[in-house]
């Protein structure tokens, strides 16, 4: 076995990307020593090899693999790979439009932007993160909301009270008419979110005054997982204040719903007079397990699951950027120097990425409280951030009408 492990190690030192990836697959047959070889490959010069090693470690239950993922912080080597300014929108005035949805599809390293152009027309752009090339540009008619599911393999589209699921590669409906249509509660605009991970879940809701409903559906089986009626509360939709400027409405956007990275929990955000309320739902049991109230000036941006099982939330609280634990409401990080939305976290809660009023993007290690990287280049407020699950790419969208893709450049050959 030692001789075969030495052969795997030798192949990992070669120049062929395919040979290295094949060797990584073989390394897992040799227990902890093989996993150590995979861990060492996280520092490889080639992105494809690093990504393969990261994904393999994610599938391992060994402590050494989990620790390696926790410690993988490649941000210091990142720089701007591409700046995108051409969006190919089918509209009269491009300057009046900004994306309504901005996310990275992890399964194929692409950036997906959804634009709601008019009442009956919307557009989806897809870019390859590594090359910066646009790979798809397709139009959706009769769409109000959009979200990616199944690691980006499908998108769920909402119009009035109907949802339908498309294959993101082919833009074909999944199912046959009328079976691909789902009828859910009539959602107020922006009260709609899709679980981005493996679970095929979508949540939709609406408020009329201080009452409304929430439903969670499995969009593969068309079964309802949860139905909740609320009173004396209101969901907080996108663009809630029509008196605010377009910039302020985008910068202050926070979805009323967020799924945890594992898809096992849902957090719903409500407004009650001058305070915000957060509810945490267990999606396996459909039980409400926590309610946090009396939270003034709250914008919830992202959730994470720590290795010890704690659920972290990040966002703006009382004019500060905060990270807090949901079940105890204990604030673990707060900064009055970072007073802009948006912010995102790595799935395990190790890394926080946020923005400054100087249009900088800051990457922070929440364990050591150290700054890992500062990205500069935008000339206006940043209103969207996304990070790939393997931490190889960060994408940002600014009011300056540009998208920047950040990552580790390819080595010069």
Q: pLDDT tens, position by position, for the chain (413 residues)?
A: 555 888 888 899 888 999 999 999 999 888 888 999 999 999 999 999 999 999 999 989 899 999 999 999 999 999 999 999 989 887 666 666 788 899 999 999 999 999 988 666 789 999 999 999 999 999 887 777 899 999 999 999 988 788 899 999 999 999 888 888 888 877 665 688 999 988 999 999 988 888 999 999 999 998 999 999 999 999 876 444 333 455 555 555 567 899 999 999 999 999 888 888 999 999 999 999 999 998 887 888 999 999 999 999 998 887 788 999 999 999 999 987 766 678 999 999 999 999 988 899 999 999 999 999 999 999 998 999 999 999 999 999 999 999 999 999 988 76
Judged on CB neighbours under 10 Å (0-12, 13-18, 19+), 254 is buried
Residue extents of the structural domains in the chain:
2-72, 77-407
Tell me if 161 sits within 8 A of 184, measured CB to CB: yes
Alpha-carbon torsion angle 331, 206, 98, 304, nearest 10 = 30
Question: Which residues, 6 or more positions from 67, have their beta carbon under 8 angstroms from its beta carbon?
Answer: none
Give the torsion sign (CA, 289, 292, 297, 303). negative
- Which residue in 355, 345, 353 sits closest to 324, CA to CA? 345
Query: Rounded distance, CA 91 to CA 165, Å?
Result: 25
Q: What is the pTM of this model?
A: 0.92
* CATH annotation of 77-407: 2.130.10.10
Instruction: State residue 251's pLDDT score.
Output: 52
Match 């940002």 to its residue by tokens.
396
CA geometry: angle 241, 268, 271, nearest 5 deg? 40
Instruction: State residue 171's pLDDT score.
Output: 92
Q: Render the burial of 299-325: b for 16+ CB within 10 Å, e for the rest.
A: bbbbbbbbeeeebbbbbbbeebbbbbe
* CATH annotation of 2-72: 1.25.10
- Which residue in 219, 59, 90, 58 sits closest to 149, CA to CA? 219
Instruction: State residue 74's pLDDT score.
Output: 96
Tell me if 163 sits within 8 A of 204, measured CB to CB: yes
Instruction: State residue 346's pLDDT score.
Output: 96
């Amino acid at each position: 076995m030692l001789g075969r492990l030495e052969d795997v190690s030798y192949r990992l030192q070669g120049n062929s990307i395919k040979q290295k990836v094949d060797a990584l697959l073989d390394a897992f047959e040799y227990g902890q020593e093989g996993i150590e070889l995979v861990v060492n490959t996280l520092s490889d010069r080639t992105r494809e090899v690093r990504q393969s090693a990261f994904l393999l470690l994610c599938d391992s239950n060994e402590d050494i693999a989990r620790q390696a993922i926790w410690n993988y912080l490649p941000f210091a080597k990142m720089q701007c790979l591409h700046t995108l300014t051409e969006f190919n929108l089918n509209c009269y005035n491009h300057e009046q439009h900004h994306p309504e949805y901005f996310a990275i599809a992890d399964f194929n390293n692409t950036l997906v932007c959804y634009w709601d152009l008019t009442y009956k027309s919307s557009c989806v752009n897809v870019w390859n993160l590594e090359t910066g090339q646009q790979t798809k540009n397709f139009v959706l008619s009769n769409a109000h909301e959009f979200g990616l599911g199944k690691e980006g393999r499908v998108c769920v589209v909402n119009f009035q009270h109907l949802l339908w699921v498309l294959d993101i590669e082919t833009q074909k409906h999944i199912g046959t008419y009328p079976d691909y249509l789902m009828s859910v509660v009539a959602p107020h605009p922006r009260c709609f979110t899709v679980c981005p991970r493996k679970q095929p879940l979508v949540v939709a809701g609406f408020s009329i005054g201080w009452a409304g409903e929430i439903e969670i559906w499995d969009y593969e089986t068309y079964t309802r997982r949860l139905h909740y009626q609320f009173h004396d509360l209101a969901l907080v939709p996108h663009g809630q204040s029509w008196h605010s400027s377009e910039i302020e409405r985008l910068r202050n956007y926070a979805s009323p719903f967020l799924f945890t990275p594992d898809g096992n929990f849902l957090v719903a955000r409500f407004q009650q007079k001058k305070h915000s309320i957060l509810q945490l739902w267990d999606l396996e049991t459909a039980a409400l397990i926590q309610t946090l109230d009396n939270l003034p000036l709250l914008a919830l941006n992202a959730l994470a699951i720590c290795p010890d099982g704690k659920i972290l939330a990040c966002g703006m609280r009382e004019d500060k950027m905060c990270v807090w634990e949901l079940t105890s409401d204990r604030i673990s990080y707060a900064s009055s120097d970072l007073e802009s939305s948006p912010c995102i976290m790595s799935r395990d809660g190790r890394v926080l990425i946020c923005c400054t009023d100087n249009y900088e993007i800051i990457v922070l290690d929440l364990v050591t409280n150290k700054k890992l990287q500062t990205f500069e280049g935008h000339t206006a407020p940043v209103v969207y951030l996304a990070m790939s699950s393997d931490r190889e790419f960060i994408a940002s969208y600014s009011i300056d009408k540009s998208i920047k893709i950040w990552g580790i450049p390819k080595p010069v050959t």
